[in-house]
Structure 1
Amino acid sequence: MNYVIRSVRADEWAAARELRLLALRDPVAHLAFLETYEEALAKPASYWQERTAKAAEGADGAQQVIAEGPDGEWVGTLTVLVEEAGTKDWAGFPVERRQGHVVGVFVRPEFRGIGLTEVLFDAGLEWAWARGAERVRLIVHEDNGRAQTFYRRVGFVPSGVVVPLAANSDPDARELEFVLERP
């Protein structure tokens, strides 16, 4: 596999923006992401610069991992956020222990099925474990079967936590928490 798996650098905000916009045009984006293409497109360059810097190489609270193809093009990404015990998560649930939270998983369709997502997850998990995460979690839409199948294959299991989420104007949308305990 001639791909480089690495952390994003702060000055790569334009490439991070481009890949995010592509992800938001994926046919299952409405199930996988909490924002729309139009919302992301409207955000100024300063937003993308700050977002990328907060998840860049050397950042403490988050890390964005990318898969860079042989020609330098970005073909996949995921981000791991650190959630501290004693705080509340994005949905208002209490965080009981230090954990990683995987978000923004995307691999370009033409590069799916060749093992890149597994390698991205390995890198993200390694980063989280190195920062003392006791577990890593992610939230997945109940109707996103493709993602759920993958997450189970790499060791994540449903925790039983259900997050009601009015995503993209669907008042009945529900997200399921999947977790992976530290080995």
Structure 2
Amino acid sequence: MKGKVRSLLEWRSGVVQEAPLAKKDFFSAKKNGNENQAREVKHILQIFGASGDANDSEFSAEIGHTRVSFWDCLIDKEYLNFLQENNLPYTEAKTENSINRISGTASNPRQTERVPAGTQFSFTLSFKQFEGDDEALLNTLLKGLKLLEWDSLGGSGSRGYGKISFSQLTINGEDAQQKFDEIQPF
């Protein structure tokens, strides 16, 4: 999840590349005078961290430590009890095939194991806010989570797999769902 959110934010920033953003990308954006892009690259690096080439005191002082940690998403305990009480599966097999567009015949049958739609997971992430951090960092992370809702998680997203939504979001124990629902990342 962490990599997907980072990737979506990099796409949104307009500086996506094969490898995750790094120190050189931050200084390149600053040098080119594109302040908005430099700010977005900086926020992404502050939130998700920079690669090991970041041993540079000027850079380290400006970026600081990684702010976010994503934790395992386990099936919600109440939902798990519901599955067990109703003898429902935790996963399902979806059968697919390819259709020859000329002859109209099916070929290449295969099964994909997936989590059934509607499965509920408990999700936790830790976000560190250091002295001098402003609300923009947290807002950038929330935009990334909203982009994930608009996209998909895992493989076969173009087939409708991996659609997720966040509900009952809290920040420091306080309800943040309405704030999240109102986010427009673009």
Q: What is the TM-score of this pair, normalised by structure 2?
A: 0.28
Q: Which is richer in helix?
A: 2
Q: What is the TM-score of this pair, normalised by structure 1?
A: 0.29
Q: Which is richer in strand?
A: 1
